Amino acid sequence: MTDLLVPSTATLPQVRRLVTEVPGPRSRELMARRAAVVATGVSTTLPVFVERATGGVVVDVDGNSLIDLGSGIAVVNVGNSAPLVVEAVQQQVAAFTHTCFMVTPYEGYVAVCEELARLTPGDHAKKSALFNSGAEAVENAVKIARSATGRQAVVVFDHAYHGRTNLTMALTAKNMPYKQGFGPFASEIYRVPMSYPYRDQPGLTGTEAAARALALVETQVGAGNVAAVLIEPIQGEGGFVVPAEGFLPAIAQWCHQAGAVFIADEIQTGFCRTGDWFACDAEGVVPDLVTTAKGIAGGLPLAAVTGRAELMDAVHTGGLGGTYGGNPVACAAALASIETMRVQDLAGAARRIGDTMLPRLRALQERTPAIGDVRGRGAMIAVELVRPGTTDPDAGLAGRIARACHAEGVVVLTAGTYGNVLRFLPPLVIGQELLAEALDVVEAAFDTYAHSPGS
């Protein structure tokens, strides 16, 4: 293992360096301008304005160089401004920027679908349709499943997050901030318990947790009415909940028997994030449909639904699409991102990140009673914070730790139904030294804040 995972991509010094307080004066000025014209509904995790970002660092307008443990919420898996992505985008933008694939098609779109057919789980015939955002992909996966099955019910899970459009708000579990005041929501959505090993009764196996969920589906929905079961193989915004082994295969198997479409939402987990191309790979689960976005295109907006050719083709011609879906610049970026992941073995890099982070965070847990759980896979790692001696969520502490990390120049994010999860999503190209330094900062924040109540 070397610190030079991808040194050639780093056109900015890969260091943490603070030259002002965080946020600095120029960021504060920009925050004031923002407040005047940007809707308050759009939130900000860390009020620093970015000037440049490469590899594992983000440099702000005051010249502070921050270590990125967020990747723009699991997007820049290949690092910010990855060289192949920059080159591909520049070439594409100079050639043509848009024609609309539904009007006059272009090769990049087809090539992305070919890659998706190769990379997503299963060796059956697959087809894809491309969209702009994760939520749009999820909406379309539901459309396809309903059209293919002639059924309407969609089963989703506690703690799920699938987006902010009307249908995906209904599919998402958490009310505040995602749903509050935005109803009425779409109908025919049924929510069942997730396998959440930290919060389930001790010893509940994956197959038992699946049986618990499926019993509700059978009694309250009726297997024959289920168009699709939609699940994140590791939940993202819900707090990086990794289901117990056996849970996903049992759900997939039930879908197969019930004639329901098993949709894996791999929008946050996909593209090497968890140490495999897709999180479903870890247990050999083969979904009927997979939704992808985020990491697919190195920061450009692109999303996809990929699945069994016969399901994808159940929709009438013209039933899927959109003006920008599969934009040529985004497709060029996706092909370059995928190439980068393949050439640099970023799945392996994600596993090494997990191998570095998990032992250190587990050691921190040993001396920190407020850390209830350390979990995750690959470069998708979280700690869940609780009041010592209980499993009562401590969102306040998660916020204090996150702010302390930000002040010291490390970008971290929070998550979780109860807001009490600190999550880490480093770019997969981050150097080991930089990662180690970020962990030093995280540990110091815990040592300062997690042992002094109310600080």
Ligand X SMILES: Cc1ncc(COP(=O)(O)O)c(C=O)c1O
Which among 27-35, 246-254, 263-271, 394-402 is the span making contact with ligand X, rule CB under 6 A?
263-271
Is 274 a binding residue for ligand X by CB under 6 A? The answer is no
| Sign of the dihedral defined by the CA atoms of residues 192, 197, 199, 203, in that order | positive
* Site for ligand X contains 426 (CB under 6 A): no
Structure-token match 């290949």, residue found: 78
Q: Which is nearer to ligand X, 237 or 384 (CB)?
A: 237
Selected range binding ligand X among 232-240, 245-253, 256-264, 415-423, rule: CB under 6 A = 232-240
| Interaction between residue 134 and ligand X (CB under 6 A) | yes
Q: Which is nearer to ligand X, 199 or 423 (CB)?
A: 423
Q: Which H/E stretch holds residue 439?
A: helix 432-449
Select from 54, 133, 140, 414 the one that contacts ligand X (CB under 6 A).
Answer: 133
Q: Which stretch binds ligand X (CB under 6 A): 15-23, 134-142, 151-159, 308-316?
A: 134-142
Pairing of strands 380-385, 289-292: unpaired
Give the separation between CA 80 and CA 58, rounded to whole angstroms: 8
Q: Nearest to ligand X by Cβ — which residue?
A: 134
Which region among 160-168, 186-194, 254-262, 423-431 touches ligand X (by CB under 6 A)? 160-168
What are the helix (H) ranges across 25-129? Answer: 25-37, 71-74, 83-95, 107-119
CB of 398 to ligand X, least distance (A): 18
Give the C-alpha separation, 195 to 213, whole Å.
9
For residue 246, the Cα-to-chain-centroid distance in whole angstroms is: 22
- Verify binding: residue 236, ligand X, rule CB under 6 A: yes
Q: Which is nearer to ligand X, 65 or 268 (CB)?
A: 268
From the CB of 333, what's the least distance to ligand X, in Å? 15
Residue (58 or 303) nearer to ligand X, CB:
303
Return the number of the residue (162 or 308) whose C-beta is nearest ligand X: 162
Residues near ligand X (CB under 6 A), total: 15
Round to whole Å and give the CA distance between 340 and 332: 12
Backbone angles phi, psi at 156, to 5 degrees: -130, 180
Which two tokens mark 450? Answer: 């997690």
Interacting span for ligand X (CB under 6 A) from 89-97, 133-141, 175-183, 196-204: 133-141
Residue 237 DSSP class: T
Residue 62 or 266: the one with the smaller Cβ distance to ligand X is 266
Strand partners of residue 127 = 307
H helix intervals, 165-306: 166-171, 206-216, 247-258
252 Cβ neighbours under 8 A, 6+ residues apart: 262, 285, 286, 287
Contact of 116 with 292, CB cutoff 8 Å: yes
The answer to whether residue 427 forms part of the interface with ligand X (CB under 6 A) is no
Residues 18, 19, 22, 26: is their CA dihedral positive or negative? Answer: negative
The correct pick among 265, 281, 288, 373 for binding ligand X (CB under 6 A) is 265
Q: Give, as ranges, the residues between 66 and 95 that touch ligand X (CB under 6 A).
A: 73
CB of 447 to ligand X, least distance (A): 31
When the beta carbons of 20 and 165 are compared against ligand X, the nearer one is: 165
Q: Which of residues 284-303 bind ligand X (CB under 6 A)?
A: 293
Measured between alpha carbons, how far is 255 from 286 in angstroms, rounded to an integer?
A: 11
Identified binder of ligand X from the candidate list 170, 229, 267, 302, rule CB under 6 A: 267
Give the separation between CA 423 and CA 430, rounded to whole angstroms.
Answer: 16
Q: Cβ(362)–Cβ(374) under 8 Å?
A: yes
**Sole binder of ligand X in the list 161, 196, 262, 446 (CB under 6 A):** 161
Binding positions for ligand X, 136-155, rule CB under 6 A: 138
Token pair, residue 342, equals 């393949």
Burial call 78-100: b when 16+ CB within 10 Å, e when fewer: bbbbbbbbbebbeebeeeeeeeb
Nearer CB in complex with ligand X: 265/384:
265
288 or 394: whose CB is closer to ligand X?
288
> Residues 68, 237, 373, 384: which binds ligand X (CB under 6 A)?
237
- For 417, the 3-state DSSP assignment is coil
Q: Residue 226's beta-bridge partner residues? A: 153
Q: Is 268 in the site for ligand X (CB under 6 A)?
A: yes
Q: Cβ of residue 448: shortest distance to ligand X, in angstroms?
A: 30
24, 70, 121, 163: residue in contact with ligand X (rule CB under 6 A): 163
* Shortest distance, position 292 Cβ to ligand X, whole Å: 10
* Nearer residue to ligand X within complex by CB, 162 or 191: 162
Name which of 303 and 311 has its Cβ closer to ligand X.
303
Nearest residue (CB) to ligand X, 293 versus 331: 293
Task: Cite the DSSP H helix spans in 218-370.
Answer: 247-258, 309-312, 328-343, 346-366
Which residue is listed with tokens 């959440």?
196
Which residues of this protein are in contact with ligand X, per CB under 6 A? 73, 133-135, 138, 161-163, 232, 236-237, 265, 267-268, 293
